[in-house]
Amino acid sequence: MRTSRRLAIAAITIATAIGVAACSGSGGSSAIGSGNGSAATGQKVQGGTVTLAWPDGSAPNLIFPLPPATNTNGYNVNLTQMMWPYLVAEGDGGQSAVDPAESLYSSLAYSDGDKTVTIKLKPWKWSDGVSITSRDFTFVYNLLKANVPNWIDYTQGLFPDDVKSVQTPNASTIVLNLTRSYNPNFYTEDVLSGIPLLPQHAWDKESATGKVGNYDETAAGAKDVWNFLQKEGSDMTTFTTNPLWKVVDGPFTLASFNSNGDYTYVPNKNFSGTVPATAKVVNEVFTSDTAELDALRAGGSLTVGQLPQNDVKQIGILKTEGYSVVNQPIPGVSGTLLNFYNAQTGPLVSQLYIRQAMEDLTNRSQIVSKVYDGYADPGNGPVPTTAFGQWSSPVEKSGGPYPYDPAKAVSLLKAHGWKVAPGGTSTCQSPGTSDTECGAGITKNEALSFQLLYSAGSTTTDEMEAAIQSSSEQAGIKLSLKSEPFNTLASTVGECTASSHPASTCGWQLVDFGYDPYDLYPTGATIFNTNGPNNLGGYSSAEEDTLINETEYGASAQTFDTYENYTAEQLPWLWTPLPSIIDVYKSNLGGFAPLNPFSGSINPEDWYFTK
């Protein structure tokens, strides 16, 4: 359901350095705003051009808002959601909550034991003046139903598989009869938040010259419409000229699009919500962090950009150029993935006490303060406390179950039959499966030694992994670090489970990809459940599966805390800090803060200049 949207936010923060270090001269003060930032003061004015920096590789390549399975470019969402927003808007005032004002529904009600959802639409209109109706929803539903699994956001069992029937009693009401009960929070925040409405009256066509009909109402017709819209939507030369893409219901329309990924929005004058105050939003792709930083330091062209963590010292210079800086927490889970099915190290990481010892040796608070200058979530468990204030449990908020404690790590290993060699490599002296022995599959004299792969290109990540490597030595746990380009890691680190274990891609032991972004409801489904599509290391726990299911399908408000605390303690990943995004914006730009982390802080519909 959320694959491409997750990528959209994730990709914003991927370091793009390719061997050229940014200038990092003295920058004076590195004081930075809080997550809420400080609003621009002064009188709001209409008009003005906002120029927004995007990182290397962020050029969109599809304008049709439902990408096919082969298109993983998360930046397409950033292009399309300003024109075709989702039924449910995420992030209200920077909080992990639904934003009713920007959503397309006027009311959402769950009934029949949470198996029926009744959605009433706002009386909004498309940019061509036609009303948005329930038919626009059934158009989307029919297209998806006929074309899954060739939809990038498709997750087996979820929308549209879980919809038994759709009723449209009137033009503004949609009734979804689901195949099972859902937790309303999960269904609203993680499922309906990924469904846009599309203009059936303009897009239900099988060819450019054909007439609009109701082709989507048959499976064959829906396939033809899907194929037509995919083809038209991938022709970048016609993004601004094709009549299809001129019918929008979002705050902006597309005014220009360059093949290099630069594009410009202008306000949708017929937007039914609040029409944006700015006259133009220019999106400019940068080939490197260095180039973006130079543009910011030159002080002229950019209104909004992002500062790499490595360049925090530049904040002082940027402030003299008229910029404000704000810290944006990322809604995601960060950690080191463990391959439970690696022939050599799988038996080691399968032991909870070894995972606990490794976590005890990770000095997360020091990494946050020394490596990330304080601009990171501590990563105390599966739910980041900085981005999900209302979802993170008291256990996580108080530091998590495993605060830094090297002495505890040493004693844990000794208690299980290990000869601990601080600064060296600890070895198993008591093989066996009793409580005082090393554990199943671990042989006598076996070493506590792992290779840790991680994504190259970020100095702060290098420093964090080196810090973990260094602190692990205190208990004789040897980590060999190896950094590789992200795409190389992605192509060689495969999903390894009991049933699927290809030798070519399951040689890895530990890997750190950065983080896995969440939607509004931070469930661990697909990441930590057995055979979850994103559970690469094959972690498997019946209890974990049950708890995850309850977060998605149960109604109890307590369920989430129970799941979160259990997952934090069981360590399906080794938790690590999650660095924040540091946003830079012109001080006369209002509406930028408080940030909405759930849209990657890209909400130009809320921005305005002040004088």
Partner 1 sequence: MTSYIARRVAQAIVVVIGVMILTFVLIHLVPGSAARAAMGVRANATRIAIFNTTYGLNKPLYAQFGDYVSGLLHGNLGISYTTQQPVSTLIAERLPGDILLLGVSTILAVAIAIPLGIYQAVRRNHLSDQLLDGISFTLYTMPDFFVAFLLIALLSVQLHVFPPEAPQATTVGGMLADPRALVLPIATLTVSNLAGYSRYMRSAAIDVLAEDFLRTARAKGLPERLVLSRHVLRNSILPIVTLIGLTFPNIVAGAVIAETVFNYQGMGLLFFQASTSHDYPVLLGTTLVIGAATVVGNLAADVAYGLLDPRIRHGNS
Which residues contribute to the site for partner 1 (CB under 8 A)? 3, 7, 18, 20, 23, 56-57, 59, 61-62, 69-73, 149-150, 234, 236, 258-262, 284-288, 290-292, 294-295, 297-301, 485, 487-495, 500, 504-505, 513, 516, 533-534, 536
Least CB distance to partner 1 at residue 496 (A): 12
Q: Which is nearer to partner 1, 68 or 406 (CB)?
A: 68
Least CB distance to partner 1 at residue 316 (A): 13
Please, which residues have CB within 8 angstroms of residue 592's CB and are 6 or more apart in sequence? Answer: 37, 39, 40, 304, 324, 326, 583, 585, 601, 606, 607
* Gap between the Cα atoms of 609 and 588, Å rounded: 6
Least CB distance to partner 1 at residue 494 (A): 7
Least CB distance to partner 1 at residue 234 (A): 6
Q: Which is nearer to partner 1, 57 or 424 (CB)?
A: 57
Least CB distance to partner 1 at residue 156 (A): 9
Q: Which is nearer to partner 1, 231 or 444 (CB)?
A: 231
Q: Which is nearer to partner 1, 183 or 334 (CB)?
A: 334
At which residue do the structure tokens 């194929």 appear? Answer: 227
Other Cβ atoms closer than 10 A to 123: 12
Q: Which is nearer to partner 1, 258 or 449 (CB)?
A: 258
What's the full length of the chain, in residues?
Answer: 611
Least CB distance to partner 1 at residue 56 (A): 8
Are the C-beta atoms of residues 580 and 377 closer than 8 Å to each other? yes
Q: How many helices and strands in the chain, by DSSP H and E?
A: 17, 26
Sign (positive/negative) of CA torsion 510, 12, 334, 151?
Answer: negative
Within 14-167, residue ranges assigned H as helices are 75-80, 134-147
Least CB distance to partner 1 at residue 262 (A): 6
Q: Which is nearer to partner 1, 133 or 497 (CB)?
A: 497
Q: Which is nearer to partner 1, 11 or 582 (CB)?
A: 11
Least CB distance to partner 1 at residue 236 (A): 7
Are the C-beta atoms of residues 305 and 295 closer than 8 Å to each other? yes
Q: Which is nearer to partner 1, 406 or 507 (CB)?
A: 507
Alpha carbon of residue 451 to chain centroid:
27
Other Cβ atoms closer than 10 A to 484: 17
Q: Residue 362: left (phi > 0), alpha (psi -120 to 50), or beta?
A: beta
Please, which residues have CB within 8 angstroms of residue 241's CB and are 6 or more apart in sequence? Answer: none
Least CB distance to partner 1 at residue 71 (A): 6
Q: Which is nearer to partner 1, 131 or 287 (CB)?
A: 287
Verify cis geometry, omega within 30 degrees of 0, for the bond prior to 502. no
Q: Which is nearer to partner 1, 150 or 588 (CB)?
A: 150
Least CB distance to partner 1 at residue 16 (A): 9
* Gap between the Cα atoms of 410 and 199, Å rounded: 62
Q: Single out the residue of 356, 372, 371 nearest to residue 466, CA to CA.
A: 371
Q: Which is nearer to partner 1, 58 or 596 (CB)?
A: 58
Least CB distance to partner 1 at residue 516 (A): 8
Q: Which is nearer to partner 1, 76 or 393 (CB)?
A: 76
- What is the 3-class SS of 241-310, one letter each residue? CCHHHHCCCCCEEEEEECCCCCEEEEECCCCCCCCCCCCEEEEEECCCHHHHHHHHHHCCCCCEEEECHH
Are the C-beta atoms of residues 387 and 90 closer than 8 Å to each other? no
The H-or-E segment that residue 395 falls in is helix 394-397
Q: Which is nearer to partner 1, 359 or 516 (CB)?
A: 516
Q: Single out the residue of 19, 5, 29, 2 nearest to residue 191, CA to CA.
A: 2
Least CB distance to partner 1 at residue 549 (A): 19
Least CB distance to partner 1 at residue 74 (A): 9
* Gap between the Cα atoms of 358 and 352, Å rounded: 10
Kindly write down the DSSP assignment for every residue of 554-596, as one continuous string: ---SSHHHHHHHHHHHH-SEEE--EEPEEEEEETTEES--S--
* Gap between the Cα atoms of 91 and 77, Å rounded: 16
